[in-house]
Amino acid sequence: MSERRQELEKLHRSLVVPGEEICVIEEFVPGEGAYVLNGVVRSGVVGRVFLDWIQRRVSVINPVGKPRIPRRGSTVYGVVTALLREDLVLVKVFADERLRRYNGMYTGFLHVSQASDKPARSILEVVKPGDVIRARIVNAKHPFQLNIKLGNSGVVAALCSKCGAPLYRVPGQQPLVCLRCGSKENRKIATGYIYVKKGR
């Protein structure tokens, strides 16, 4: 093993600070958290060096990172956890639109007026506890007010309220169907709903 290879292997998982030299571009190309300046690959963040010897790529990963906080206008994913009133449910927001989990769990509220363009007497005609939803945040402060009327928002995964099995979207049919017990339930379905029955 060459002396330079040994030096580079010692760098693997070592702690570096922004601007610190890691290697030259001929040895590794920069990945996440790294950049090139005058042919030298340097760290862009405080973190640990990770060397990919197969792709010849070096990354610097911040083990903590900046906390990401949902903001007004953000698209988020959450789980409906409780019915608070006939027209209101509690939602635990857990990830952003790219399904990157937030550092903590955030609280959201979904009112029936923000859930469907169609008249609904109860929020349970649109979503139910246990549903995973894609929603838009409409206010600036926590706890968040959510909206699933906009764009491709709505329920992305739902379970049967009778037996707990997944509810499937059947092409050409409006209600979701439980393939275990045969129950049919309505939801405001989002684009990209997970459970889709294929074939006949």
- How is the chain split into domains, by residue range? 3-61, 75-185
Instruction: Tell me which CATH code domain 75-185 carries.
Output: 2.40.50.140
CB 24 within 8 A of CB 41: yes
Q: Euclidean distance between the first and final Cα of the chain, in Å? A: 60
pTM of the model: 0.67
- Going by pLDDT thresholds of 50, 70 and 90, the confidence category of residue 49 is very high
Helix (H) or strand (E) holding 146: strand 144-147
Instruction: Answer yes or no: are the C-beta atoms of 93 and 70 closer than 8 Å.
Output: yes
**pLDDT at residue 63, as a whole number:** 64
23 marked among binding-site residues? no
- Same CATH topology for 3-61 and 75-185: the answer is yes
Is domain 3-61 classified as CATH 2.40.50.100? yes
Q: Which residues pair with 59 in a beta bridge?
A: 50
pLDDT over 90 for what percent of the chain?
55
pLDDT attached to residue 67? 60
* Amino acid symbol at 29: V
Q: What is the pLDDT of residue 198?
A: 79
Contacts (Cβ under 8 Å, ≥6 apart) of 17: 43, 46
> Please, where are the H alpha helices in the chain?
3-11
Long-range contacts, 148-151 (Cβ 8 Å, 24+): 148/110, 148/114, 148/115, 148/116, 148/188, 148/190, 149/114, 149/115, 149/116, 149/117, 149/188, 151/75
Predicted local distance difference test score (pLDDT) of residue 64? 58
Among 5-9, 36-40, 44-48, 61-65, whose mean pLDDT is lowest?
A: 61-65
pLDDT of 151 over the 60 cut? yes
Tens of pLDDT, residue by residue over 51-80, are: 998 889 999 887 655 567 889 999 999 999
At 166-193, the pLDDT tens digits run 999 998 888 999 999 999 999 999 998 9
72 and 65 Cβ atoms separated by less than 8 Å: no
Q: Any alpha helices (H) in 65-167, and if so which ranges? A: none
178 annotated ligand binder:
yes
The pLDDT value recorded for residue 65 is: 55
Mean pLDDT of 36-56: 87
Q: Is 181 annotated as a binding residue?
A: yes
Mean pLDDT of the 80-90 span: 95
Query: Among 69, 66, 57, 58, which residue's Cα sits nearest to residue 14?
Result: 58
At residue 125, does pLDDT exceed 60?
yes
Average pLDDT over residues 31-45: 86
